[in-house]
Amino acid sequence: MSAANGVRRAFVNARLVDPASGLDAPGALLTEGGVILDLGPQLFQDGLPDDAEIIDCGGAVLAPGLVDMRVQVGEPGQEHKETIHSAGLAAAAGGVTSMVALPNTEPVVDDVSGLEFVARRAREEKLAKVFSYAALTRRLEGKEITEIGLLDEYGALGFTDGVKAVGDPGVMRRALAYAGAFDQLIIQHPAEPTLTGSGVMNSGELATRLGLSGLHPLTEVMMIERDLRLVEMTKGRYHVAHVSCAASLEVIRAAKAKGLAVTCDTAPHYFMLNETTVGDYRTFAKVSPPLRSEEDRAAIVEGLADGTIDAIASDHCPQDQDSKRLPFAAAEFGIVGLETLLPLSLSLVHGGKLELPRLLALLTQGPADLLKLGAGRLARGLPADLVLIDLESPWQIDTLAFRSKSKNSPFDGFPVQGRVLRTVVDGRTIYQAGPKTG
């Protein structure tokens, strides 16, 4: 073992699950300071170390901390909805050790000072790690691309206009070509802006009955199909955020088969819910892209299982009551998701749709590899970013207990199975569950 300064902690009696290495076995893990010193089924076979704090995992799953690649932190500019502090607490409670912030703040993160602000605030809070995307276009106006080379140098993990699509094909072509020179990822919100209009929910019989403007899946598919032509032309790296419908998966699947550098993610609400959740104008179910049909929901589950979808993100979008307690058409889009990302995703395991290592790969290694983060895996010398999970514990989601400042979730009262027991960042325990209360 290498020597390093710092407190030693031995996690024993654990089920070690590391999708990156294929490890899934009973064992132990030793940290020293902020790094993983050793791990494996054979560790401590000759006895426990007398110079380490012993943490008995009680047979629970010890896995890499979750990497959430799509989070709105609200700061700067929307601190009444969320801050880096409250988002960090929510992330920790959800088992997220690294999150990537969208740039659609006020001011927009479209220059070096914006990146430095997020990095400084994250260092001050010392909760979950916060990384940042940079805006793809200045002020998110979709016209002039940002200084991709400079922002890459200062740590931008990718480039996106957040919850806005880049509608101008010329701008997207230049962005893909320029970002390709730095091997940077372009993340697109899939919604053709000239077709979305005033749409607020999935188009179809339900939208007609409710008298609401619909957003057809075609608005999503057309955006992706256009961009894939540009990817083929430029050889850029392209990622589709929060895929929501079967038709989108078909074109992404075909593009991957052709060898294009295309990836995608989805969020739990797209594989847990369908458009009927809107029900009686329930604004907490208003998201962009909208909740789709049951056939689309089932297709998303299939896309997670067959490898078409590369990651699951929370798509955390905090909105205060004033933004949601409005007529459906006027309410803001978005759902908070940091604290429900893992338990909702575990439903895929308990429902027999995914094996646990595959699910954890979508939540850890998958997004980390896309963003070239040295996270999302258990290995000697890597940061000790860990989550301890009780897979079986049943409970009900209670939005009033959320650490997030905002409570806009359609999952309030939803029964789930599996909870985070402990979250560790750089060797420090930043969240530990209390005793069960029922």
The helix (H) or strand (E) run that includes residue 23 is: strand 23-32
Rounded to a whole number of angstroms, the CA Rg of the chain reads 21
**DSSP bridge partners of 96:** 66
Q: Return the beta strands (E) in 216-279 as ranges.
A: 237-240, 262-266
Q: Return the beta strands (E) in 124-261 as ranges.
A: 129-132, 134-135, 159-160, 185-188, 201-202, 214-215, 237-240
Q: Is 315 a catalytic residue?
A: yes
Q: Which amino acid is at 223?
A: M
Which DSSP letter does residue 416 get? E
**CA distance linking residue 272 with residue 294, whole number of Å:** 10
**SS3 category, 258:** coil
**DSSP bridge partners of 54:** 10
432 token code pair: 């530990």
Length of the chain: 438
Largest Cα span, the chain = 69
CB 273 within 8 A of CB 291: yes
**CA distance linking residue 166 with residue 139, whole number of Å:** 12
Q: Which amino acid is at 170?
A: G
CB 175 within 8 A of CB 167: no
CB 152 within 8 A of CB 185: no
Catalytic residue among 296, 315, 369, 385: 315
CB 278 within 8 A of CB 355: no
Whose CA is closest to 385, among 73, 63, 100? Answer: 63
In sequence order, the 6+-apart residues with CB closer than 8 A to the CB of 396 are: 413, 414, 415, 416
**CA distance linking residue 237 with residue 256, whole number of Å:** 12
Q: Which residues are catalytic?
A: 315
